[in-house]
Amino acid sequence: MITVSNLSKAYNGVEVLKLENLDIPKGQSFGLVGNNGAGKTTFFSLLLDLIQPSSGHIKNKNVLVHESEDWKPFTSSYIDESFLIGYLTAEEYFYFIGELRNQNKSDVDNLLAQFVDFFHDEIIGKKKYLRDLSKGNQKKVGIVAALIGNPEVIILDEPFANLDPTTQIRLKQILKDLASKQGVTVLVSSHDLMHVTDVCERIVVLEKGEMVKDLSTSEATLKELETHFSN
Amino acid sequence: MVKQFMSLEWKQFKRASYFQKGLAIKILLVLGAIYFGGLAILLGGGMFFILRKVLPEVDPIISINNFLVYWMLFELMIRYFMQQLPVMNIKPLMLIPIKRNTVIHYLLGKTTLSFFNFISLFLFLPFSIVLLAQGYPPTNVILWFVSLMSITMSLNFINFLINKSNTVFYVIAPTLIVLIGLEFYNIFKISEPVGIVFNALYNNPVFVIIPILIMIGMYYVNFKFIRKGFYLDDTVSKKVKEVNATDLSWMNRFGSIAPFLKNDVKMIWRNARPKQVMMMSFFFLFYGLMFYTQEIYMEMPAVLAFASMFITGGFLLSFGQLVPSWDSEYYKMLMSQNIPYRKYLESKWYLMVVAVTVSFILSTPYLYFGWKIFAMIAAGALFNIGLNTFITLFGGALNRVPIELNVKAKAFSNTNGFNPTQLLIALPKMVLPMILFYIPYKLINFNAGLLVLALSGVLGIVFKSFFLNKIEKIYQKGKYKTIAAFSEKK
């Protein structure tokens, strides 16, 4: 689904990301881990064409990301709060995203109905602007909005941070189902090794912009990651 | 303690990103401040003589006392829309051992240094000096001046309450509207009793004690109010507003640009900064009064063309110049969404067109100045719709300054969303209508000037998609730069 070749990104001559080859097949749940500054967000920003690569390219379903915009209809993402429109209520935001992704009101309502548990009665019908929600609730809105319109690729930057334990567990289930049952390619980054090993079938470790490990998740993976990061 | 607060403020001021911007802007701001300050001083100094000339049979001090109520109202209104309330970063202060009262006194004290308090000072100090020079009794004049300053301070504190407490707002705003209405229709002239009060203040200097007491009272009320709400979730920090959701589904008839249009309407309605811009553009409507009433300008039709363009162009100029910036807070999301740039721009275009049309309808009272003037306004409106919108959108592509939506722009201290490029792009917007009108006017006649101005607008409308395509390309080219600039932390 996603092919990366010879991708690099440099700021003022300092290389912050360098990925020679990376292939993410359709329906894979893909995890990205690494310390601060390892290049996770840079990689996601490149995937979303928010920054330009210094060299190389990314193909999303055979569309060259930095040249065509045809990847947008089937790709969705939530990176940070700047993906939310602060002066809208949660519902208004969902409908707005729905309209952008050619979903009518009832389509969106149907989707939202599946997330009643996830929202825990704190999002819908609350008459609050998104800017007034807590960080965790903002994140919930952003993540669910990224599911609108049956995307084939979903990119989430640190989806577990700021969420309460109950929601973390629910989110894990949602993400697993997306990949295994609906064939959605899910890309997730996280600082929580336990969560990624739970959710992802494949985990890539970045260090100073380079890929140092590419693991397919097994019983031993968590241990291996822990040893890697304790050094 | 106060010294430490001051040093914190100074650091905040000095290290704020807007301060570190170009020297040019700083100079411009200083010039602007000097200009308006100087204007106020001149007006204050000259007021005495103007009043004596216009109303020779009334003592200028009495005329001014009769007018004061309007000034106070005006000041309160300007304050409500423009004055940035001191929202101190109280979180770190709540945890360290400082008396709450000290912080509050400091906070309130800080408001006394607001630019808006100085307008009154600059106006009435020279006026009082002129009075003294003209041989008016010093005690009366000086204490009258003290009264006015106390009232200004009271307004300062009242404004704080109006902004912070909905109850106060809902009591004061309707009262004022009713009073203004009664005054306007000559049912009950509130200005008369108020005039009497001000004259009494002047004639009996002892009464100065009343405004001073009011000021102290207001300070006390404010103090109590803040003291009560000195917790993170209350007064001094940001306010959480209950949503007023309006059904905008009727806008769906606009088809593919409807989602953006609906969003823009909500954006304007629910955020402090765009609301302020709306308000300002309303004042543009009165711009013509400055020109059409003056004999000299009647001989300078190019200037009139400029004024006529301004009347209907308020929203266009002030909102339009910040076009991508309005969405700076969530620009990244827009860019990763399935959005045709074209629709985004088109929605903004329609918004401006609607604004120009509404302004044009509201400007019909200018018919009073004759058909010629009104035809000029109409031609100016066409120019605005057909050409100015595109020039403005084009200018927006060069503007990459992020805006904080829910923060009011501060007078003379906030350059958010303002840069020299904008000044440059503002030039053609203002000069072009003058040229378009003036050349055919000089060569042929007045009507030819009107026709060319109007036709230029029509041409713009005809070539709408051509222009939008070109502008879209420019926006697309600057995409990465814009994203990077907008995500820069303020």
Residue A121 tokens, joined: 């009665």
Q: Are B134 and B66 part of one and the same domain?
A: yes
In a domain, B84, yes or no: yes
Q: Does B332 contact A83 at a Cβ distance shorter than 8 Å?
A: yes
Residue of A nearest to B274 (CA): A87
Q: Are B127 and B261 part of one and the same domain?
A: no
Using a CB–CB cutoff of 8 Å, tell me whether A89 touches chain B.
yes
Q: Are B264 and B372 part of one and the same domain?
A: yes
Query: Rounded to a whole number, what is the distance in Å from the CA of B94 to chain A's nearest CA?
Result: 21
In a domain, A167, yes or no: yes
Q: Are B403 and B274 part of one and the same domain?
A: yes
Residue of A nearest to B272 (CA): A87
In a domain, B241, yes or no: no
Which residues of A are less than 8 Å from B406 in CB distance? 86-87, 131
Which residues of A are less than 8 Å from B274 in CB distance? none
- Give the end of a domain, one of B228, B258, B289: B228
Q: Is the pLDDT of residue B306 over 90?
A: no
Contact assessment for residue A20 and residue A58, using Cβ atoms and an 8 Å cutoff = no
User: What is the Cα–Cα distance from B452 to B360, expressed in whole angstroms?
Assistant: 19
Tens-digit pLDDT profile for residues B147-156: 999 999 998 8
Q: Are B264 and B218 part of one and the same domain?
A: no
Interface test with A, best of B239, B333, B403 (most A CBs within 10 A): B333
Beta pairing class for A2-11 and A14-24: antiparallel
User: What is the Cα–Cα distance from B306 to A23, expressed in whole angstroms?
Assistant: 61
Mean per-residue pLDDT for B27-35?
74
ipTM, 2 dp = 0.87
Model confidence at B244, pLDDT cuts 50, 70, 90, reads low
Using a CB–CB cutoff of 8 Å, tell me whether A101 touches chain B.
yes
Question: Which percentage of chain B shows pLDDT scores above 90?
Answer: 12
In a domain, A59, yes or no: no
In a domain, A78, yes or no: yes
Residue of B nearest to A71 (CA): B338
Which residues of A are less than 8 Å from B242 in CB distance? 127-128
Q: Does B263 contact A96 at a Cβ distance shorter than 8 Å?
A: yes
Residue of A nearest to B488 (CA): A82
User: What is the Cα–Cα distance from B290 to B297, expressed in whole angstroms?
Assistant: 10
Mean of all residue pLDDT scores within chain B? 80
Residue A192's CATH number: 3.40.50.300
Model confidence at B91, pLDDT cuts 50, 70, 90, reads low
Query: Rounded to a whole number, what is the distance in Å from the CA of A4 to chain B's nearest CA?
Result: 19
In a domain, A84, yes or no: yes
Which residues of A are less than 8 Å from B337 in CB distance? 72, 97, 100-101
- Give the end of a domain, one of B198, B228, B258: B228
Instruction: Mean pLDDT check: name the lowest of B68-82, B95-109, B219-233, B413-427.
Output: B413-427
In a domain, B149, yes or no: yes
Q: Does A51 contact B483 at a Cβ distance shorter than 8 Å?
A: yes
Q: Is the pLDDT of residue B241 over 80?
A: no
**pLDDT value at residue A169:** 92
In a domain, B234, yes or no: no
Sheet holding A29-33: strands in order across? A63-64, A55-60, A2-11, A14-24, A210-216, A202-207, A29-33, A185-189, A153-157, A75-78
Minimal Cβ distance to B480: which of A52, A92, A129: A52
Q: Are B348 and B388 part of one and the same domain?
A: yes
User: Structurally, how many domains does chain B consist of?
Assistant: 2
User: What is the Cα–Cα distance from B151 to A105, expressed in whole angstroms?
Assistant: 54
Query: Rounded to a whole number, what is the distance in Å from the CA of B228 to chain A's nearest CA?
Result: 22
Q: Are B192 and B278 part of one and the same domain?
A: no
Residue of A nearest to B270 (CA): A87
| Other residues' Cβ atoms within 10 Å of the Cβ of residue B486 | 21
Q: Is the pLDDT of residue B236 over 60?
A: no
In a domain, A13, yes or no: no
Phi, psi torsion values for A6, nearest 5 degrees: 50, 35
Residue of B nearest to A48 (CA): B336
Q: Is the pLDDT of residue B213 over 50?
A: yes
Q: Does B338 contact A48 at a Cβ distance shorter than 8 Å?
A: no
Q: Are B366 and B396 part of one and the same domain?
A: yes
pTM: 0.72
**pLDDT value at residue B1:** 65
User: What is the Cα–Cα distance from B404 to B409, expressed in whole angstroms?
Assistant: 9
Which residues of B are less than 8 Å from A101 in CB distance? 337-338
Query: Rounded to a whole number, what is the distance in Å from the CA of B270 to chain A's nearest CA?
Result: 6
Which residues of A are less than 8 Å from B331 in CB distance? 82
Q: Are B197 and B331 part of one and the same domain?
A: no
Q: Is the pLDDT of residue B412 over 80?
A: no
User: Structurally, how many domains does chain A consist of?
Assistant: 1
Q: Does B329 contact A85 at a Cβ distance shorter than 8 Å?
A: yes
Q: Is the pLDDT of residue B235 over 80?
A: no
Residue of A nearest to B479 (CA): A50
In a domain, B188, yes or no: yes
Q: Does A82 contact B332 at a Cβ distance shorter than 8 Å?
A: yes
In a domain, A7, yes or no: no
User: What is the Cα–Cα distance from A224 to B9, expressed in whole angstroms?
Assistant: 50
Minimal Cβ distance to A100: which of B259, B405, B480: B259
Minimal Cβ distance to A100: which of B242, B331, B339: B339
Query: Rounded to a whole number, what is the distance in Å from the CA of A129 to chain B's nearest CA?
Result: 7
More confident residue, B169 or B384: B384
Query: Rounded to a whole number, what is the distance in Å from the CA of A223 to chain B's nearest CA?
Result: 36
- 149-168 in chain A: CB under 8 A from chain B: 149
Contact assessment for residue B202 and residue B61, using Cβ atoms and an 8 Å cutoff = yes
User: What is the Cα–Cα distance from B384 to B366, expressed in whole angstroms?
Assistant: 18
- Residue A123's domain comprises 28-50+67-230
Q: Which string of DSSP letters, residue by residue, matches B139-157? A: HHHHHHHHHHHHHHHHHHH
Tens-digit pLDDT profile for residues B439-459: 888 888 888 989 999 999 999
Model confidence at B416, pLDDT cuts 50, 70, 90, reads very low
**pLDDT value at residue A216:** 92
Which residues of B are less than 8 Å from A102 in CB distance? 338
- Give the end of a domain, one of B228, B259, B291: B228
Which residues of A are less than 8 Å from B476 in CB distance? none
Q: Does A89 contact B245 at a Cβ distance shorter than 8 Å?
A: yes
| Other residues' Cβ atoms within 10 Å of the Cβ of residue A29 | 23
**pLDDT value at residue B396:** 82
CA proximity to A52, closest of B335, B323, B474: B335
Residue B129's alpha-carbon distances to B56, B141, B148, B212, B232, in angstroms, are 20, 9, 14, 21, 46
Q: Does A129 contact B243 at a Cβ distance shorter than 8 Å?
A: yes
Using a CB–CB cutoff of 8 Å, tell me whether A83 touches chain B.
yes
Interface test with A, best of B270, B275, B325, B337 (most A CBs within 10 A): B337
Q: Give me the residues of chain A with pLDDT under 70, please.
A: none
Instruction: Mean pLDDT check: name the lowest of B32-36, B101-105, B474-478.
Output: B32-36
In a domain, B60, yes or no: yes
Q: Are B223 and B256 part of one and the same domain?
A: no
Query: Rounded to a whole number, what is the distance in Å from the CA of B219 to chain A's nearest CA?
Result: 30
Beta pairing class for A185-189 and A29-33: parallel
Residue of A nearest to B343 (CA): A100
Q: Are B176 and B256 part of one and the same domain?
A: no
Using a CB–CB cutoff of 8 Å, tell me whether A64 touches chain B.
no
CA proximity to B165, closest of B73, B100, B229: B229
Phi, psi torsion values for A206, nearest 5 degrees: -105, 145
In a domain, B376, yes or no: yes
**pLDDT value at residue B166:** 66
Residue of B nearest to A101 (CA): B338
Contact assessment for residue B326 and residue B274, using Cβ atoms and an 8 Å cutoff = yes
Instruction: Mean pLDDT check: name the lowest of A142-156, B115-129, B400-414, B425-439.
Output: B400-414
Contact assessment for residue B36 and residue B432, using Cβ atoms and an 8 Å cutoff = no
Q: Is the pLDDT of residue B390 over 80?
A: yes
The most confident of the ranges A91-95, B103-107, B251-255, B305-309 is A91-95
Q: Are B105 and B182 part of one and the same domain?
A: yes
Query: Rounded to a whole number, what is the distance in Å from the CA of A191 to chain B's nearest CA?
Result: 23
User: What is the Cα–Cα distance from A158 to A40, expressed in whole angstroms?
Assistant: 10
Question: Which percentage of chain B shows pLDDT scores above 70?
Answer: 84
In a domain, A108, yes or no: yes
**pLDDT value at residue B419:** 54
User: What is the Cα–Cα distance from B199 to B345, expressed in whole angstroms?
Assistant: 56
In a domain, A11, yes or no: no
Model confidence at B413, pLDDT cuts 50, 70, 90, reads very low
- Residue B421's domain comprises 249-486
In a domain, B129, yes or no: yes
